[in-house]
Structure 1
Amino acid sequence: MYLRSLLLLFLVSSTSVFGQYAVKDIPETLTKGVSTVMRNQETILTLKDFNSTLVSFKEAITVFNKDGLNALRTKVGYDGSSSIKNMEAKVYDANGVEIKKFKKRDFIDVSATGSSMYSDDRMLYIEYTPTSFPFTMEFAYEMRSSSTAFLPRWEPVPFYSMSVEKSSFSISNEKAIPIITRKFNLDAFETSVAETPTQYEYTIQNVMPMEKEALGPYYTKFAPVVRIALEKFQLENEEAYIKNWKDFGMWQKNTLLKGRDKVSDATITKINNLVAGVQDPKEKARLIYQYMQDKTRYVFIAIGIGGWQPSPAQEVDELSYGDCKGLTNYTKALLKTQGIDSYYTIVYAGEGGQDIDEDFVALQGNHVILTVPFEDENVFLECTSQQAPFNYLGDFTDNRKVLMVTPDGGVIGKTHTYKTEDNLQTVTANVTISPTFEVSGKIYETSAGILYGNKNLLETAAKDDISMYYKRLWGHLNNLALGNIDFKNDKEKVLFTESLNFETDNYISKAGDKILLNPNIITRYKDLPATEENRKLPLEIRRGSTYRDQIEILLPEGYTIEAAFEPIEITSEFGTYKASVTSLEGSKIKYERELVLDSGTYPKEAFNKYVAFIQQVVKKDRSKIVLAK
């Protein structure tokens, strides 16, 4: 009876449910300084069985300016196991008068991944260009699905600079199917919560907008979120019953991976010949990884049991391409030919460093890598890259929890952490100032750790792109001319070396017969955040790094240092900065600089202290000396 009443309420006209969305009806406190207001959002998830769901969704958003257009929901995806019904969108003007209506037949049906991808995912969408602001769009649909591995999550504050009048999330579970829930930060937003074995209700109202803050934590650490999953679920036509990560790994191994690690006898012979005479298993793995990189390329594929099953290794071997799942499984199969164990490993990829949530046993992750266990370490292989060194992850998948599918089931592990001293950039330069005060010289720069990943793609970049890169990097060097650019990519040591000649003019300031020179010619710190007086979130510096410069400068004949800054040393809880200039024999001087930025999480009150430290660094990087005859 309750469910029937709830659905009836949901499906009645927008006039009786929402009113007409007049902008004047929005509480004034929710409109100050925002781009959008969530007027109302309703999600009703009906669990008919472990393999049957109905999602009824309706959302109305008022948009005040073009910056808020990205918040509009104008599309919805589906696949072979789902169908969309009762889909429509309506547009209202500032007075709440309906000015446009889209029915399901007006939505455009396209591949969700583009024409060049291998996927059976589809998308229905509309295009709407507003003629004036503010306006309100209401978007609604119903979706039925037989795949229940991924259930909708509730994120009632989905965007920065968006306030929320009301958002609700209801789960109807009349069969009391076992559900896993994971809730974040609900109390902080005064969320109304009502939970029984057959009914779950979450409601939030009158939420002020959250502003994006520099170097803040991952959103589940501060935003309201509810995630749900079923212990027993269906992924397309495959059933699963999972109570822990060990169960999950066994299901993944026996259902999605089993029998897909075979390669031909001819390929086995190739691999045998490749590693002939090599005794060290890790060196064998390195050679096999390089073989895979040289042979294959990445192509996105989202077919096969909900896009979660990898292509067979033999297919990847024959076609020489695959996605992260297929290439990882293929590499695993090649290693297996030499008796080297490896684990198919699920991860959240991206610079933000999201962990697999250990307390939420469900399908997670957006990427797959390979773990190769050795006695001294776990080696991690990024199988989609043709350039990545052996056992190098970079900031794409570093320092985060992952799920390894081992022979004994799923195991939560963690990828490599790159320490502050590992992420090292070293610059050495020999510079000459001509009698007419042009500056020229030779620069050598090496990058390691995370910083290697910021540089190594220069090796394959186009000439014009390389030139543009340096001119942006060294924008303080006027009329910069470059020559003899050379790169050395040492994949074994994971070191990238750049060497080049440069010339620049108008770098030096003249004051009568004296010269003003900033000896810090190469490396300048430019990422200067603004202070935040009402900071709400902790400061999170995910990765530390170290920068060292040593520059020898040959002065014009007869010039020496008349005045120079004293050696600089700044120490803070966030790192250290040192700089000095000294005279050498003849007309040479030497400039040395070291900046160490430490990783760490700090309370919100520390943010402006961090800004003050960086401001000092930026200021000291501009320190000048006086040269005179």
Structure 2
Amino acid sequence: MKNILTPLLFCIFSTSLFSQDYSFEISKIPINLLNNANSVVLFEDTFVNVKSQNQMTIEVNTAVTVLNKLGDYNSHVYVHFDKNQKIKSIETYIYNASGKEINKVKSKEYEDVSAVDGGTLYGDSRMLYYKYTPISYPYTIQKKYVIETINTGFVPSWQPVDSYSTSVLSSSYQIKSSEGLAIRFKEKNFENYTIEKEVATNNLKYKVVNVEAIKREPYCPIFKDFTPYLLVGLNKFSLEGIDGEANNWAEFGKWRYDYLLNGNDEINDSAKSEVLNLVDGILDPIEKAKIIYKYVQDRTRYISVQEGIGGWMPIKANDVHRLGYGDCKGLSNYTKALLNAVGVEAYYTIIWAGDENRDVEEDFFSMQGNHIILNLPTNDGDIWLECTNQKVPFGYLGDFTDDRNVLVIKPDGGIIKRTKIYEASENLQKSIGSYEVRGNGSIQAEVKIISKGTQYFDNLKSDGASDKELDVLFKDYFSHINNIKFSELQVINNKKEMAFEEEIAFEASNYAILNGNEMLVPINAFNRNFVIPKRVRERKLSFQISQGYLDVDEVDIKLPVSFDIEYVPENKTIESKFGKYIVEVSKVDEHTYLYKRTIQINEGEYPKEEYELYRNFRKEISKYDNSKIILKSKS
């Protein structure tokens, strides 16, 4: 999606309620703002002036004191621009610990660089970029700039606390608009902060001071879910010269369809004839959709397009068909066009994609999202299609796009839906195998691993990997076994079953520990748990298990006949609100045992007071996963 100047824009209030003088002296920073901090925001001020439906000015003045190397990301200055967003002025100053100016960045020191990644074929978004290289700590960097843009569809939001280990001395935000351009806004997570504000139809002012740094903790929840965040928008707006007006998602979705989608999903007669032949005789719409999905995967590839309105409007379906490539917008629109051509209902869908489950705001419409997928409504529920990945099965999302609110665009308007939720039992990894321990302590083993749900995607990197790459990947997976040598490494991406299958055979010397006439055999050879959450003294935040899963193992164990069996780990069951762990060891014959293991971890957010309980739960699992069979030599 298009890179735009939305996050963390702060302004100069020369005459506003929040005006004040600032000091750059480190000694003036309150002691409490230095605790757990790598950097301190001395001030971060934003002024947004919406002069008309298609003219907006953004003024920014911000200064950050960097206390150590971990805060150096603040030394990067970047301001976006393109043909419709102009930088009117930009200034950068560096101050030493005493508050003395030691450098003013010259115009020629800013680099004019592309603001899109190397995988973008078309992109006109650029930025002025400067990186300061510190000679000592602490130092302060001040950034001031003014931007003019015609795109009022994107109004800067306010996120005064934007990262861990950063405290805030002062942050303020003001937006004013012309008569007839009412300002909409939504406050999130304000309740635990003292925030001054003034609210009027055409003027908003916010300010917060003295916010202490938040220390990152293991399993912390999503940062935006517990820190203050202000969303701002207009009912009358403009995007790349296209005016719009809306009061809700339905009207906003209708505008997007009419002006950004409609007409782009047409395909020529030749393409239509080709796909109709593919589904000839097939009546089931889902079977038709599967054929079309495979057709698109086989003949297209992903490449980004972020030029002008193309940052939000898909390239025409006919162009994707002719060229054989497109971005998420183009490929989704193309797939939709082909599905519609064969009589399958499908809708363009806007989503926030990423490892963190971020929702499209259900009660606040605006230009949201960073990715496009497709929605196929059926009598049995919604099917979701990821159109940019040639490897994933039909209807598979994974943890990049699962369990979050999305905007589905229909001809008559937009509606909010929620993508598939993968329950822990669906995120299954099943391992069935056997191993034999020889008298010298070596091991010979084979195992088949089947992964589904989000665990399917975790293993997808193996698909198409070379033998050398597979060797590296599986040595990492079996890192608890030294001297491992693989005799078989086979991976199968079983799209039909939405399963990733791995068949592995290996041997390794010194798997078992020989101690005099004793042999110690680690019972869990294939799927040992190493996850023990770090200790946190006086935890401040709740904790979150972001994805539940289920592992099921069934292993035949053959022990050397030259040893007597002294001890076999007992059956074990551990149950808690966080999940369950079950181990059963049963005797098959004198030197053969069947080892069954189940571990389920439950997704959820839990109070900070229960963190130590979770830590102990994982410690106990890890301890038992490392249990050993004890053998004694007969000779």
Q: TM-score, normalised by structure 2?
A: 0.95
How is 1:531-546 mapped onto 2 (pairs within 5 angstroms)?
A: 531-546=535-550
Deviations 1:86-122 (A, max 9, x none): 2010001111111111144431112211465211111
Give me the whole-angstrom Cα distance separating, in 2, the residues matched to 1:6 and 1:177. Answer: 22
Q: CA deviation at 1:172?
A: 2.2
**Which residue in the other structure is 1:276 paired with?**
280
**Which residue in the other structure is 2:301 paired with?**
297
Within the alignment, does 1:561 sit opposite 2:565 as a pair?
yes
Seen in structure 2, the aligned counterparts of structure 1 residues 457 and 482 have a Cα distance that, compared at 3 Å, is same
| Native 8 Å contact 2:76 2:132 kept in 1 | no
What is the DSSP-based 3-state SS (H/G/I as helix, E as strand, rest coil) of the residue aligned with 1:18?
Answer: coil
Give me the whole-angstrom Cα distance separating, in 2, the residues matched to 1:483 and 1:600. Answer: 40
Deviations 1:32-67 (A, max 9, x none): 332101111111111111211111101101111111
**Which residue in the other structure is 2:167 paired with?**
163
What is the DSSP-based 3-state SS (H/G/I as helix, E as strand, rest coil) of the residue aligned with 2:389?
Answer: coil
| Native 8 Å contact 1:86 1:104 kept in 2 | no
**Which residue in the other structure is 1:287 paired with?**
291
Among residues 430, 438, 451, which one is paired with 2:442 in the alignment? Answer: 438
Partner amino acid for 1:262? E
Q: CA deviation at 1:9?
A: 5.6
| Native 8 Å contact 2:257 2:409 kept in 1 | yes
Within the alignment, does 1:26 sit opposite 2:22 as a pair?
no
| Native 8 Å contact 2:12 2:46 kept in 1 | no
Among residues 62, 65, 68, which one is paired with 1:65 in the alignment? Answer: 68
**Which residue in the other structure is 2:5 paired with?**
none
Among residues 348, 351, 356, which one is paired with 1:347 in the alignment? Answer: 351
Give me the whole-angstrom Cα distance separating, in 1, the residues matched to 2:183 and 2:458. Answer: 43
Between Structure 1 and Structure 2, how many residues are aligned? Answer: 620
**Which residue in the other structure is 1:506 paired with?**
510
Give me the whole-angstrom Cα distance separating, in 1, the residues matched to 2:160 and 2:371. Answer: 26
**Which residue in the other structure is 1:55 paired with?**
58
Within the alignment, does 1:178 sit opposite 2:182 as a pair?
yes
Give me the whole-angstrom Cα distance separating, in 1, the residues matched to 2:204 and 2:174. Answer: 6
Partner amino acid for 1:259? G
What is the DSSP-based 3-state SS (H/G/I as helix, E as strand, rest coil) of the residue aligned with 1:460?
Answer: coil
**Which residue in the other structure is 2:576 paired with?**
572
Partner amino acid for 2:251? D
Seen in structure 2, the aligned counterparts of structure 1 residues 225 and 542 have a Cα distance that, compared at 3 Å, is same
Seen in structure 2, the aligned counterparts of structure 1 residues 573 and 259 have a Cα distance that, compared at 3 Å, is same
| Native 8 Å contact 1:303 1:309 kept in 2 | no
Seen in structure 2, the aligned counterparts of structure 1 residues 105 and 319 have a Cα distance that, compared at 3 Å, is same
What is the DSSP-based 3-state SS (H/G/I as helix, E as strand, rest coil) of the residue aligned with 2:468?
Answer: helix
Deviations 1:291-344 (A, max 9, x none): 000100000111242610000000011000000000000000101111111110
**Which residue in the other structure is 1:361 paired with?**
365
Within the alignment, does 1:205 sit opposite 2:209 as a pair?
yes
Q: CA deviation at 1:217?
A: 2.4
Give me the whole-angstrom Cα distance separating, in 2, the residues matched to 1:159 and 1:466. Answer: 37
Give me the whole-angstrom Cα distance separating, in 2, the residues matched to 1:103 and 1:223. Answer: 36
**Which residue in the other structure is 2:128 paired with?**
124
**Which residue in the other structure is 1:372 paired with?**
376
Seen in structure 2, the aligned counterparts of structure 1 residues 8 and 449 have a Cα distance that, compared at 3 Å, is closer
| Native 8 Å contact 2:12 2:59 kept in 1 | no
Partner amino acid for 2:571? P
Give unmatched runs, 5+ long, in structure 1.
none
Seen in structure 2, the aligned counterparts of structure 1 residues 9 and 108 have a Cα distance that, compared at 3 Å, is farther
What is the DSSP-based 3-state SS (H/G/I as helix, E as strand, rest coil) of the residue aligned with 1:389?
Answer: coil
Partner amino acid for 1:87? I
Q: CA deviation at 1:543?
A: 2.1
Seen in structure 2, the aligned counterparts of structure 1 residues 100 and 370 have a Cα distance that, compared at 3 Å, is same
Deviations 1:358-379 (A, max 9, x none): 0111111100000111221211
Give me the whole-angstrom Cα distance separating, in 2, the residues matched to 1:560 and 1:546. Answer: 34
Within the alignment, does 1:259 sit opposite 2:266 as a pair?
no
Give me the whole-angstrom Cα distance separating, in 1, the residues matched to 2:99 and 2:161. Answer: 23
Within the alignment, does 1:89 sit opposite 2:92 as a pair?
yes
The root-mean-square deviation of aligned C-alpha atoms, in Å, is 1.7
| Native 8 Å contact 1:81 1:145 kept in 2 | yes
Among residues 490, 495, 504, which one is paired with 1:486 in the alignment? Answer: 490
What is the DSSP-based 3-state SS (H/G/I as helix, E as strand, rest coil) of the residue aligned with 1:548?
Answer: strand
Give me the whole-angstrom Cα distance separating, in 1, the residues matched to 2:284 and 2:191. Answer: 55
**Which residue in the other structure is 1:515 paired with?**
519
Give unmatched runs, 5+ long, in structure 2.
1-10
**Which residue in the other structure is 1:466 paired with?**
470
**Which residue in the other structure is 1:620 paired with?**
624
Identical pairs, percent: 36
Seen in structure 2, the aligned counterparts of structure 1 residues 572 and 159 have a Cα distance that, compared at 3 Å, is same
Give me the whole-angstrom Cα distance separating, in 1, the residues matched to 2:320 and 2:177. Answer: 42
Among residues 379, 382, 385, which one is paired with 1:381 in the alignment? Answer: 385
**Which residue in the other structure is 2:609 paired with?**
605
What is the DSSP-based 3-state SS (H/G/I as helix, E as strand, rest coil) of the residue aligned with 2:589?
Answer: coil
What is the DSSP-based 3-state SS (H/G/I as helix, E as strand, rest coil) of the residue aligned with 1:581?
Answer: strand
Which deviates further from its counterpart, 173-182 or 543-552?
Answer: 173-182
Q: TM-score, normalised by structure 1?
A: 0.96
Give me the whole-angstrom Cα distance separating, in 2, the residues matched to 1:173 and 1:281. Answer: 49
**Which residue in the other structure is 1:416 paired with?**
420
Q: CA deviation at 1:560?
A: 3.7
Seen in structure 2, the aligned counterparts of structure 1 residues 613 and 228 have a Cα distance that, compared at 3 Å, is same
| Native 8 Å contact 1:558 1:587 kept in 2 | no
| Native 8 Å contact 1:311 1:326 kept in 2 | yes
**Which residue in the other structure is 2:7 paired with?**
none
Q: Which 4+ stretches in 1 moved above 3 angstroms?
A: 5-10
What is the DSSP-based 3-state SS (H/G/I as helix, E as strand, rest coil) of the residue aligned with 1:371?
Answer: strand
Within the alignment, does 1:37 sit opposite 2:40 as a pair?
yes
| Native 8 Å contact 1:397 1:415 kept in 2 | yes
Give me the whole-angstrom Cα distance separating, in 1, the residues matched to 2:466 and 2:195. Answer: 53
Deviations 1:229-281 (A, max 9, x none): 11110001101101011101111111101111111211112101211222211
What is the DSSP-based 3-state SS (H/G/I as helix, E as strand, rest coil) of the residue aligned with 1:550?
Answer: strand
| Native 8 Å contact 1:238 1:305 kept in 2 | no
Give me the whole-angstrom Cα distance separating, in 2, the residues matched to 1:6 and 1:209. Answer: 24
Deviations 1:479-516 (A, max 9, x none): 11112211222111111111111111222112321211
| Native 8 Å contact 1:544 1:598 kept in 2 | yes
Q: CA deviation at 1:125?
A: 0.5
Partner amino acid for 1:499? E
Deviations 1:442-484 (A, max 9, x none): 1111111111111123121222221111111111101111122
Among residues 217, 221, 226, which one is paired with 2:225 in the alignment? Answer: 221
Give me the whole-angstrom Cα distance separating, in 1, the residues matched to 2:529 and 2:222. Answer: 25
Q: CA deviation at 1:23?
A: 0.9
Seen in structure 2, the aligned counterparts of structure 1 residues 319 and 329 have a Cα distance that, compared at 3 Å, is same
What is the DSSP-based 3-state SS (H/G/I as helix, E as strand, rest coil) of the residue aligned with 2:535?
Answer: coil
**Which residue in the other structure is 1:99 paired with?**
102
Give me the whole-angstrom Cα distance separating, in 1, the residues matched to 2:43 and 2:530. Answer: 42
Give me the whole-angstrom Cα distance separating, in 2, the residues matched to 1:180 and 1:217. Answer: 28
Give me the whole-angstrom Cα distance separating, in 1, the residues matched to 2:242 and 2:323. Answer: 27
